[in-house]
Amino acid sequence: MELRLEHIKKRYGKQCALDDFGATLSEGVYGLLGHNGAGKTTLISILIGILEATEGRILLDGVDVKQMGTRYLDRIGYLPQYPLFYKNFRTDEFLKYMCALKAIPRSLVSSRIEEVLEQVNLTAAYKKRVGALSGGMRQRLGIAQAILNRPDILVLDEPTAGLDPGERIRFRNIISRLSKDKLVLLATHIVPDVEHIAKEILILNKGRLVMQGSPEQLEKQVEGKVWDVIVAEDEIEEWVESYQVRNVKRLDGEFLLRIVSDEAPSGRSHQVRPSLEDVFLSIFEK
């Protein structure tokens, strides 16, 4: 399977929300990284057919998706940033309702619901009211409804917002399992959500694709530019004003700063191995 986006642009009057975006995607997890307002949701909305691009086209296995119509939409599963649930529905009732919306044959409804609940580890919550589920369980229910139609393309918009660390780990594990035979596009501004599960990262800034590659490839972009520096407490503000400081950690009365800089900073510093968050900082803090 190949999903190709060619020269995608979206304008609102004089404002350009998405500018000449292009990428070729296949099975596996792709992390779409960018701050709020970078263009992630605009791109997703075009990808799933909610918005029409001002320019450009999307091809699935060489066929323009506009020509495919509902055949294309049938191959997509989508979890929005703020999913809406009927809280008085039981979990099974909600999924039956979603089966009806997705036109899944009645003869397959029960087995399909059982299948997706097992995939997202919600089988025990089969009869629970949606309103009684935790935030993490509701997000997993959101994935369950998105995969009811067994989509080839799964699109997730800021799926871990508001989840505690444990639920975020569970969520990432589920996505890793699902990606074996699907294309998963996970949009987020939280780097750890995609750092260890995405085969490629696409970084958006002000509507433009500024960087794409595996986490390892992107980290090489700032290799030799990441430093740990030990400073006194009264020096922190000066360093923050002068350098791109990603992290501040207290160490026995002193402070360890992690800095992205082309040149070796003065003081007690040593070069360290870069991470994807260092790449993210180098782009968005300039």
> Which domain CATH number covers 42?
3.40.50.300
DSSP string, 145-201: HHTTT--SEEEEESTTTT--HHHHHHHHHHHHHHTTSSEEEEEES-THHHHTT-SEE
> Are 32 and 140 found together in one domain?
yes
pLDDT at residue number 77: 95
Check whether residue 198 and residue 247 sit in a common domain.
Answer: no
* Burial environment of residue 176 by CB neighbours within 10 A (0 to 12, 13 to 18, 19 or more): middle
Any alpha helices (H) in the chain, and if so which ranges? 40-47, 65-68, 70-73, 91-101, 106-119, 135-146, 165-178, 192-195, 215-219, 236-242, 276-284
Residues 144 and 121 in one domain: yes
Same domain, 193 and 268: no
Q: Which of 196, 214, 232 is the last residue of a domain?
A: 214
For residues 138 and 171, what is the distance between their CA atoms, to the nearest angstrom?
11
Q: Are 139 and 188 in contact (CB under 8 A)?
A: no
- Domain carrying residue 95: 3-214
Residue 253 has a CB neighbour count (10 Å cut-off) of 7
Domain match, 93 and 20 both = yes
Distance CA 112, CA 198 (A): 27
User: Same domain for 120 and 182?
Assistant: yes
Please indicate, yes or no, whether residues 12 and 96 belong to a single structural domain of this protein. Answer: yes
On whether both 203 and 242 belong to a single domain, the answer is no
Number of folded domains in the chain?
2
DSSP state of 70: H
Domain boundary among 177, 196, 214: 214
Q: pLDDT 10s per residue in the chain (286 long)?
A: 999 999 999 999 989 999 999 999 999 999 999 988 889 999 999 999 999 999 999 999 999 999 999 999 999 999 998 888 888 999 999 999 999 999 999 999 999 999 999 999 899 998 999 999 988 899 899 999 999 999 999 999 988 877 788 888 888 888 888 888 899 999 998 888 898 899 999 999 999 999 999 999 999 999 999 999 999 888 898 888 888 888 899 888 889 999 998 888 876 788 999 999 999 888 876 5
227 and 245 in contact (C-beta within 8 Å)? no
d(CA 142, CA 149): 13
> Are 254 and 199 part of one and the same domain?
no
Tell me the C-alpha distance between 233 and 222, whole Å.
27
Q: Are residues 102 and 184 in the same domain?
A: yes
- Strand order in 3-12's β-sheet? 15-25, 3-12, 55-60, 63-64
Phi/psi at 162 (nearest 5 deg)? 85, 0
End position of a domain, from candidates 214, 238, 266: 214
The pLDDT, as a whole number, for residue 286 is 56
Same domain, 24 and 105: yes
Q: State whether 168 and 242 are in the same domain.
A: no
Question: How far is Cα 161 from Cα 180, in angstroms, rounded to an integer?
Answer: 24
Q: Of all helices (H) and strands (E), which one includes residue 84?
A: none
